[in-house]
Structure 1
Amino acid sequence: MTDALPTDFASTYPATVTEALRDAVTAAFPATIADLTRLVKIPSVSWAAFDRAHVAASADAVAELVRGLGVFDLVEVRHAAIGEGADAAPGQPAVVARRAARNGRPTVLLYAHHDVQPPGRDEDWESPPFEPTLRGDRLYGRGAADDKAGIMAHIGAIRALTEVLGADFDLGIALFIEGEEESGSLSFANFLRENREVLEADAIVVADSNNWDLETPALTVALRGAVAFRLTISTLAHASHSGMFGGAVPDAMLAAIRLLSTLHDADGSVAVEGLRSADLETPEYDEAQLRAEAGLLDGVTPIGRGTILSRIWAQPAITVTGIDAPSVANASNTLLPSVAVRVSARIAPGQSDTEALEILREHLEQHAPFGAHLAIDGIELGQPFLVDTSGWAVAESNAAMTDAWGKAPVEIGVGGSIPFIAELVEEFPSAQILVTGVEDPDSRPHSPNESLHLGVFKRALLSEALFLARLDARDSTS
């Protein structure tokens, strides 16, 4: 370990500290990747149908890494209940840690999650999902990018900071590595309330987003909200022979097709009156880039109106993500009495999730064909979010990213949702929120062949190390 540098960077910062941190990140990078691969090997899927023991093992592995940093006064694996009452189920394990700020320095909360999405079919992967594999500049595996790389960005940044400043730096750091983000963060609100003293901070870094491209960092400033539910459409008390009654009796599949078609205009834009769009400026992004990143097949045209990024960041979207109905292999000549679908809507910043749910419910009820009966359950909600970019934390983060990448960051929106950010804001209303990430447009989180670009990861890690160093030199009252 090098001798600790002064925390007054008036003469030496940023050049001296920047280069020292860059060297520290580079020297430790092979060990950082080795730690990441060990985490990726743990199949920590937090969905109810999967073994909770793997999520527990993942939490323990993360806690061991955090303890190994030697800078925290507290490191524990903790749970919170899902819901209220004696019968409330336990949530998945999370790792929390804290060191107190000293000498007027601020405290920063670093968030990531150690649970992952289910891998899907093994045959869709070029290498096994839980056997991390390096091909070219990318590390492949489930969770390699989303979000175990986020964890290692925090770990690696603190390691570099300790190597350069020594373990006795003044910055306060809280750490929250969640264990159920991919399954809805169902115990999140309870966890925040129960662990408020451990997690309270002046700034919060959520390392669970994207960068603009391989060479350009990004700060996420807009997130769409989410409304999802199961919709059951019923027209018959029981199944009937399609030859005997077809043509006179509406089956549930016909009603479902007709009803779902009312959700979109002919060009694919959302046609639900009352779902609003946000007024966001968007960078240049053409159809060719969309085709390359989304995998559009030849001849398939994009949908919607307005700039492409406004469709993704600032307009509502509705997708049917699943259908419960007989498979083609099991199809019989039967009029189906009921069909269930999973509807997933993304809500533009500026509209509440509860308002959007009621608008969707009203639209479906008004457009139900043939008097079909509708039932909605399994509701999941998430608020959209807009980042206030006027605070000192954003300024420090932008400067750190510029030094690390050699380019100023792009402010971006994300079409996906991180609903728990609204809960962070509710619990810590005075904290400044930063949404950063280690991913790039080809990381393919949630999909087969998820991967992490090592160059992007290294620059993201250095960005965070520089950000922490800047905060360690900052008076929390300024």
Structure 2
Amino acid sequence: MAGANDDLTGGMAARAQALMPEVTRDLADLVRCASVSLPGHPEAPVRAAAERTLALLKKYGLSSARFMEIPGGYPAVYAEIPAPPGAPTVLLYAHYDVQPAKPEDGWATDPFVPVEKDSRLFGRGTADDKSGILIIAAALSLFSGHPPVGVKVVIEGEEETESHLDAYVAAHPGIFSCDAFVILDNGNLAVRQPALTTTLRGVVSCTVDVSTLDHPVHSGMFGGAAPDALVALIAILSTLHDPSGRVAVRGLAVSAQPESEYPEALYREGAGILPGTALTGTGPLGARLWSEPSVSVIGIDAASVAGSANILIPRARAKVSLRIAPDADPARELSLLMAHLRSAAPWGAKVEVTETGRSAGFVCPAGHPATAAAKAALAAAFHCPVREKGSGGSIPLLALLHAAAPEAGFVLIGAEDTACSRIHGTNESVDLGEVERCITGLALFFEGFSRRPQ
């Protein structure tokens, strides 16, 4: 049996390797579409990416690929291959939209002109998440249109913005019924270190608006007694962390930590932490990033340095984002955050706190046959054991998919290595060897899951 498995792995790996020149060209072509889905960005590149995604799926053997029109949003690309008798069905997910990117933000090259260097392909969306599209297409092509499992493919166009797919899933759960979801929008901590992501933090956010004066006044004539709104806002925001950098909002939930730890040196390199700068918080690094809350100030409305004048500022506003534990109640966590901000106001300053969003985290169902099949497949493709880890980010869609197929397993994988991919940041890239290993691993998962225990 071991020999047969080795032959299967070797055969899949060889065929995936032979595909890589074509996969690399097609990924680069897709990256050239500046498919930023956020409001205010042009629609044409997003729709061009949708068209290219549709063409790619057809090219790699998914003849049923078509647009799934999503009311109010960009289309998803959908394809389906019926399951062989007695075989399970797997739904594969990725997205073709990307985060904004401008050369002046610090990119070494044009973010939408892909460049290959040192076995990595650089450009916005190379990792997050156009690599996921090519992994899906290439893995299925290894079976010449006849995989050993049923397949549904959903490639979204609004993952990076307010998604209209969420409402579509809730309204059409039957379309998304399956035995396992494979979400190709994740990755390993570092290349060649396979891991399954089993938990994701949720996120809630609010704005805090501080007013102290009914008009701006001269800072020399009135400063010293009249309260400045920006100083009051700074005082409020400074209470969000204790001296060590831990979140100081009382009562927030904490989850159990996944088995993996996050090596500090790898984390510092991936985050770009400057030499001599300490990490914030205390305790295991994996827990701080995956199981515990973290809070950030992601925007401030106040006078700019360039436009500053010697006045006391009457009003200032900030947006606060709180990542919450994977199994925490978003409504409860948001309520605690908002109450904290209100209570921290100094000098009787007028404070208005307004919710701007909430999204639950996710914990993958434990003990599912899909998890075991994925671990075995990735171990064979990467030639090393597979660990479980968490993710500090959020994918709100997962809870809706779980509601559509409550008995299905979840497998969260991909080529977005945390150490070097720099998703959402400058100089995003993907390791092409990692893409190849993920193609092999996904193909082996299809084989292994088709023989799941009944």
> TM-score, normalising length from structure 2?
0.95
Instruction: Report the 3-state secondary structure (helix = DSSP H, G, I; strand = E; otherwise coil) of the residue aligned with 2:288.
Output: helix
Partner of 1:127, secondary structure, is: coil
Given that residues 201 and 291 in structure 2 are in contact (C-alpha distance below 8 angstroms), is that contact kept between their aligned partners in structure 1?
Answer: yes
2:148, 2:446 within 8 Å by CA — same for their partners in 1? no
CA change 1:120–1:340 in 2 (3 A) is: farther
1:112-155 Cα shifts (integer Å, max 9, x gaps): 11000000443511111000001111110000000000111101
Instruction: Give yes or no for contact 1:97–1:198 (8 Å, CA) kept in 2.
Output: no
For residues 342 and 183 of structure 2, what CA distance do their matches in structure 1 show? Answer: 38
1:295-340 Cα distance to aligned partner (Å, 9 max, x none): 2112211110111111111111001111111211100112112112
1:447 aligns with 2:438: no
Whether the 8 Å contact between 1:111 and 1:175 is mirrored in structure 2 is yes
Number of residue pairs matched by the alignment: 453
Q: Deviating runs (4+, > 4 A) in structure 1?
A: 10-13
More displaced 10-residue stretch of structure 1: 282-291 or 56-65 = 282-291
User: Residue 41 of structure 1 aligns with which residue?
Assistant: 32
115, 120, 126: which is aligned to 2:108? 126
Match of 2:334 in 1: 357
Identity %: 38
Task: Answer yes or no: is the 8 Å Cα contact 2:61–2:141 preserved in 1.
Answer: no
Residue number among 75, 81, 90 corresponding to 1:108 in the alignment: 90
> Is this contact kept in 2: 1:122–1:129, CA < 8 A?
no
TM-score by length of 1: 0.91
Which residue of the partner structure matches residue 254 of structure 1? Answer: 231
The answer to which of 389-398 and 374-383 deviates more is 374-383
Pick one of 138, 143, 149 that aligns with 1:156.
138
Task: State which of 15, 27, 38 in structure 2 corresponds to 1:24.
Answer: 15
> Is 2:358 aligned against 1:381?
yes
Q: Which amino acid in the other structure matches residue 106 of structure 2?
A: D
340 and 48 in structure 1: CA distance in 2 versus 1, 3 angstrom threshold: same
1:107 positional shift: 0.5
Q: Is the 8 A contact 2:90 2:180 kept in 1?
A: yes
- Partner of 1:183, secondary structure, is coil
**How far apart, CA to CA, are the structure 1 residues paired with 2:276 and 2:343?**
35
| Maintained 8 Å contact 2:98/2:125 | yes
Q: Following the alignment from structure 1 to structure 2, what is the Cα–Cα distance between the partners of residues 271 and 371?
A: 21
Please name the residue that 1:86 is paired with: none
- Give 1:281 deviation, angstroms: 4.5
Contact 2:125 2:428 in 1 (8 A): yes
CA distance in 2, matches of 1:232, 1:121: 33
Q: Within 5 Å, give how 1:241-390 maps onto structure 2.
A: 241-377=218-354, 379-390=356-367
| Of 187-196 and 207-216, the range deviating more from structure 2 | 187-196
What residue number does 2:75 align with? Answer: 93
Equivalent residue for 2:157? 179
| Counterpart AA for 1:69 | Y
User: Post-superposition shift, 1:101?
Assistant: 1.3
1:192 partnered with 2:169: yes
1:80 is matched with which residue: 60, 70, 76? 70
Shift of 1:94: 1.2
Letter in 2 for 1:48: P
SS class of match (1:210) = coil
CA contact (8 A) 1:223 1:417 kept: yes
Contact 1:205 1:436 in 2 (8 A): yes
1:57 maps onto 2:48 in alignment: yes
Q: CA deviation at 1:195?
A: 4.2
Aligned partner of 1:400 in structure 2 is: 377
Q: Deviation per CA, 1:152-189: give whole Å up to 9, x if none.
A: 11011111222xxxx3445210011111111132x122
Q: What is the alpha-carbon root mean square deviation over aligned residues? A: 1.8
Q: What is the deviation of 1:246?
A: 1.3
Q: Give the aligned partner of residue 204 of structure 1.
A: 181
2:438 pairs with one of 447, 454, 460:
460
Say which SS state the counterpart of residue 347 (structure 2) adopts: helix
- 1:350/1:359 CA distance change after superposition, 3 Å: same
Q: Is 118-127 or 255-264 further displaced after alignment?
A: 118-127
Distance in 2 (CA, whole Å) between partners of 1:308 and 1:71 is 42
Distance 2:135 2:352 in 1: 44
CA distance in 2: counterparts of 1:67 and 1:156, whole angstroms:
11
- 1:29 is displaced (CA, Å) by 0.9
Q: Once the 2 structures are TM-superposed, how far is the Cα of residue 388 of structure 1 from its aligned partner?
A: 2.1
Tell me the equivalent position of 2:59: 68
